[in-house]
Structure 1
Amino acid sequence: MPTQGRGRWWGLLAISLGVATIIVDATIVNVAVPAIIDDLGITSSDAQWVQEAYILVFAALLLVAGRFADRVGRRRIFVVGVVVFVAASVLAALAGSGEALIGARVLQGLGGAMMLPTSLSLLNATFTGRERGTAFAIWGATIGGAAALGPLLGGWLTTEYSWRWAFGINVPVGVVVVAATLALVAESRDERAERGVDWLGALLSVLGTTGVVFALIEGRSYGWWRREQPFRLFGLDWTSDISPVPVAAGLGLLALTALVAQQWRRNRAGRPALLDLSLFGIGSFRNGVVAAAIVSLGEFGLLFALPLWYQNVLGYSAFGTGLALLPLAVGSFLSSGLGALLTRRFGAVRVVQVGVAAELVGVAGLGLVVAPDTTWWAPLGLLFVYGVGVGLATAQLTGVSLRQVPVRQSGQGSGVQSTARQVGSAFGVAVLGTVLFASLGGILGDRLADQPGLDPGQRDQIVTAVRQSGGAAIGGLAADPRTAAVAEEARTAFSTATRYAAFAAAGFLLLGLAACARLPREAPASEPDAGAGHQLVGRGIPSV
């Protein structure tokens, strides 16, 4: 039974704090990478894996962790995930080499994958009716705020103390989360779970998700078809001229196809399966997962481009960039209470649509104001609107997706929804990154074509340096009087490319808004309790 009284809400705060930690850790390293490279003496390729090993493992294990939590206990898996995450953070803080740090990040990804879907299923099991909408609003606002606070916290810790504290800060937070969760959150599990474990389904899920997410993350680095730089994995060198990216994508899609077929057979035979495909007969879940994946394409992808523009075009420090993005976090936090009130009056689906529309306005507006001479205050209001949209849409879309999912299946439902979001986000970052850097190279090349004193070889060298460094080379060009004019052209080109990326993100959000139009509506004044959905699903009748 759910914890009664105020304890449930304090337990919600503990769960949200744990989720905030894993979200912050996905972004906090971005601003600490230069210090890590300098301190450990690692290569740029190693630094890339410090960032991406975490995301790759995290995305690959979400579905498996959610299903496992249904069977053995959601609170138990959440707490174990926090412990693994904190232990890995200690290893990362103490790492003396790039290999040790990458290994610690892999363990952090494992801990994070155990925490995110179980946090959702714990909320689904603890709260019902109107309170569930409020709980998801707080949870979603925490995610939006944490994503924006990550660069600020990382920049401050790295600048004032050491990059190691970007990981060490997780230790005291983790202790509080574990203690509060054990004291305030009730255990829940699927008491009717079949005996046996679908090991093949788990393996196919991990292999399929890993292959697809690896391709989306690494396509720009290693080449979408032809290999553009050396690739080394487990001590072995990839020698083919074909990039490992299409190979990984093909194997991943093949594994996911095999997973669907295998799950269909096991479902029909009544055998234990990783995923109960009847969940997709629930209209709110099916449409909610699709909408979540599409919205995620544009929701956080722009946060990849904006810090680069702030630091390398406007000249902000890492900490200054975090401060510049703070309105996004403020908007997300403030919208949590607003979202709960709006949900009671207009219903969760309408709030989701308003939230995605606000994100669309904020992102498109940022595309209009991005320029090499943008004043510090110009993006603030748009970032705030963007944050309000994230706070409204993220939480309520999650609530809509899980509203009619039986509590006993909430772990696997949460895992599916979280995986859809992660894959959508990875795809969004891949597309926006490609838009950003491909357009940067083309625009800068054209602007330097008539630059006096530059031959084609020098021009290509400058374009490559600016593009491959993510704009970091602009500062060196500006410091040399001989290339100061080139630096101005690079700032203009980078700003234009960032504007294109913002408009691409807005296009994704427009598609997401269209997808949200298919979400089933519910009565605002009396949001149905999940129990009604449970009864319908239990009788084999899809809830819509």
Structure 2
Amino acid sequence: MTTTAPAGRNRWIGLIGISLAVALIIVDSTIVNVAVPSIVRDLTLSSTEVQWVQESYTLVFAATLLVWGALADRYGRRRILLTGTALFLLASVLCAVSPTGALLIGARVVQGIGGAMMLPTTLSLINATFTGRERGIAFAVWGSTIGGMAAVGPLLGGWLTTAFSWRWAFGINLPIGLAIIALVVLFVPESRGEHTTGVDWVGALLTTVGFGLLAFGLIEGRQYGWWTSLRPLSIGSWSWSAPLSPIPVAFAVCAIALVVFVVRAQRRTRAGRPSLIDPGLFSISGFRNGNVAALIVSLGEFGILLSLPIWLQNVLGYSALQTGLVLLGLAVGSFAASGLSVGLPARIGAVGVVRIGIAAEIVGIGLVVSPTTGWPALVAFLFVYGFGVGLATAQLTGVVLADVPVRRSGEGSGISSTARQVGSALGIAVLGTVLFVSAGNALGDRLTDQGLPTAAADQLVNVVVESAGGAIGQLAAAPDTAAVADAAKTAFSDGTSFAAYVAAGFLVVGLLATLALPNRRPDPVGRAADPAAVS
């Protein structure tokens, strides 16, 4: 392993650069959501192009995380982080000046590659730079940044889009990215793992195809149908119009690619040949069980950010900026947790902190959602939820990587990040389905009770659900459909509440999954106070 430890406070200044890199990734994955209506009006995008503007970044990001984590161990973690940041900035500029939807989608793909290069290297650099109690503090800052920035993104996007233009939602990345590059170059040391001969490019291709298709299927299943096609899939001049949905085909190819990858990795490792991942990492109980817990927790952890903005804007009538201000409660709670998480692991262990954090998330996500819910109650609940995210995310990440050899930290970080991304994609798919199906069913029942014919009720339900509630305002403005709008508001409130409860259920399962994790208090200079606890 090659690394040069930074002296004194320099490593903490370097942590600012690493945290800014995480912030840039998380903000960009959420900032676009509130800018989409303006992008559609400016570039006259089709519905298909709108979907790809939002999803192309996520798909490429999730598909290549594992690849870049392993390559960072080989070629240098700081080098990959800096290269990814430069690529991300270039793509952001292209997004900001894009004259067409096609160029914007292409630039978002490049952004996804840059982001995937950045995220696992931030984790592995922290793991390689800090030890003992300081590592716990650094991971606390990292985790709080993720939780906080997930809420700051919509606020920043709403303000920039409202006050200036949607193009500034991408242009803001340039000064932040330049600051990241300066801080990382000056204050973050290079580190890499021990070299092995060759690169497993076939393994890289298999994981990219496998995780890319998995993310695609999870995200787009509701749109295209889980089994029977609901609409044709078009990519450029190519189109899928068969009765069978492309989603089960994507899942089948994904399963084949990942099974071949695992079998191939085991054979290459036994033969002493280079492989993208070492299956032996999963013999480490904390790493194996921690990734399982992280995946399950991710199913529900950010699910509230899927349904709340829709409910706040389309039911309560908040603007994009007002929605961002309400969600700021989550960010404040997340950042507040970082102070408490500094000394708490030494008293109750890192896993103990994770459990407290998940419990706080469960309490916070139990929102009492109704068309008359006031913003003070929402902010209070979101603060509690964000506080839990700030505690749980950082400490769970530390638990996962605690016993991973530093020379394999890029690989371990890539696996950990991939597990979270798969969990998040699955959570979005499940909670999105719960939200829209339950809201549609509730609205249909209410309209039927009002005496509307079934055909007319179904048509109105389709209009409201397909617009994600965006049609409620138009229905409320017309006297003849005001009663329909009231029913739709109540139905979407019920759906949002139901989705929140399902997300809380995932978090309960994740809390139970942490019972399989070894709970050790950090040693001031070492990795754990009780190495024998590793099983």
TM bin (shorter chain): over 0.9
Indicate the residue corresponding to 1:539 in structure 2. none
Q: Which residue of 2 aligns with 1:193?
A: 195
Structure 2 residue 431 is the aligned partner of structure 1 residue 432: yes
Correspondent of 1:73 among 63, 69, 76: 76
Structure 2 counterpart of 1:473: 471
User: Quick one: distance in 1 between partners of 2:464 and 2:126?
Assistant: 46
- Give 5+ residue unaligned stretches, structure 1: 537-541
Q: Please report the TM-score for the alignment, with normalisation by the length of structure 1.
A: 0.96
Query: Which residue is 1:386 aligned to?
Result: 385
Match of residue 8 from structure 1: 11
Q: Which string of whole-angstrom CA distances, capped at 9 and with x for unpartnered residues, describes residues 16-49 of structure 1? A: 0011011000000000000000000001221111
Deviations 1:467-515, CA, capped at 9 Å, x for gaps: 1111001000000011001100000000001111000000000000001
Residue of structure 1 equivalent to 2:449: 450
* 8 Å Cα contact 1:148/1:322 also seen in 2: yes
User: Does residue 395 of structure 1 match 2:394?
Assistant: yes
Per the TM alignment, residue 375 of structure 1 is displaced from its structure 2 partner at its CA by 1.4
The secondary structure found in structure 2 opposite 1:232 is: strand
Aligned with 1:461 (options 454, 459, 464): 459
Q: Could you tell me which amino acid in structure 1 is paired with residue 102 of structure 2?
A: E
> Which residue number in structure 2 is paired with residue 500 of structure 1?
498
Whether 1:523 and 2:526 are equivalent positions in the alignment is no
Contact 2:217 2:251 in 1 (8 A): yes
Matched, 1:228 2:230: yes
Do residues 161 (structure 1) and 164 (structure 2) align? Answer: yes
- What letter matches 1:213 in structure 2? A
Cα distance in 2 for residues equivalent to 1:373 and 1:531: 51
Q: Which ranges in structure 2 are unaligned for 5 or more consecutive residues?
A: none
Is the partner of 1:237 in helix, strand or coil? Answer: strand
CA distance in 1, matches of 2:530, 2:213: 38
1:524 to partner: Cα distance: 5.1
CA deviation map 1:125-156 (0-9, x unaligned): 00000100000000000000000100000000
The one-letter amino acid paired with 1:421 is: R
Structure 2: which amino acid aligns with 1:40?
L
Match of 2:92 in 1: 89
Equivalents in 2 of 1:407, 1:526: separation in Å?
18
CA contact (8 A) 2:369 2:497 kept: yes
1:283 is displaced (CA, Å) by: 1.1
Letter in 1 for 2:506: F
Show the counterpart of 2:221: 219
Question: Once the 2 structures are TM-superposed, how far is the Cα of residue 229 of structure 1 from its aligned partner?
Answer: 1.2
Shift of 1:532: 9.4
The RMSD of aligned alpha carbons is 1.4
User: In 2, are the aligned partners of 1:346 and 1:524 still within 8 Å (CA)?
Assistant: no
Measure, in 2, the Cα distance between the counterparts of 1:178 and 1:527.
29
Aligned-residue offset at 1:457: 2.3
**Which SS does the other structure have where 1:325 is aligned?**
helix
Displacement, 1:517? 1.3
Match of residue 21 from structure 2: 18
Supply the distance in 1 between the matched residues of 2:147 and 2:332 (Cα, whole angstroms).
Answer: 9
1:527–1:339 distance in 2 versus 1, CA, 3 Å:
farther
Question: 2:125 aligned with 1:125, yes or no?
Answer: no
What SS does the corresponding residue of 2:108 show, helix, strand or coil?
helix
What is the aligned partner in structure 2 of residue 109 from structure 1?
Answer: 112
Structure 1 residue 343 displacement after superposition: 1.3
Q: Does 1:183 align with 2:186?
A: yes
Residue 60 (structure 2) aligned to one of 53, 57, 60: 57
Separation of aligned partners in 1, 2:207 and 2:138:
29
Deviations 1:277-300 (A, max 9, x none): 111111111111111000000000
Q: Distance in 1 between matches of 2:99 and 2:127?
A: 41
Q: 1:371 to 1:531 in 2, by over 3 A?
A: closer
Pair 197,382 (structure 1): closer, same or farther in 2 beyond 3 Å? same
Cα shift at 1:526: 5.3
Amino acid in the other structure paired with 1:3: P
* Letter aligned with residue 351 of structure 1: V
Is 1:281 paired with 2:283? Answer: yes
1:247-266 aligned within 5 A: 247-266=249-268
Contact 2:69–2:120, Cα closer than 8 Å, also in 1: yes
Equivalent residues in 2 for 1:362-377, closer than 5 Å: 362-364=364-366, 366=367, 369-377=368-376
Q: Work out whether residues 31 and 157 of structure 2, in 8 Å CA contact, stay in contact via their aligned partners in 1.
A: yes
Counterparts of 1:390 and 1:51 in 2: how far apart (Å)? 24
| Contact preservation (8 Å) 2:231, 2:241 | no
| Percentage identity across paired residues of the two chains | 60
* Contact 1:222-1:245 within 8 A present in 2 as well: yes
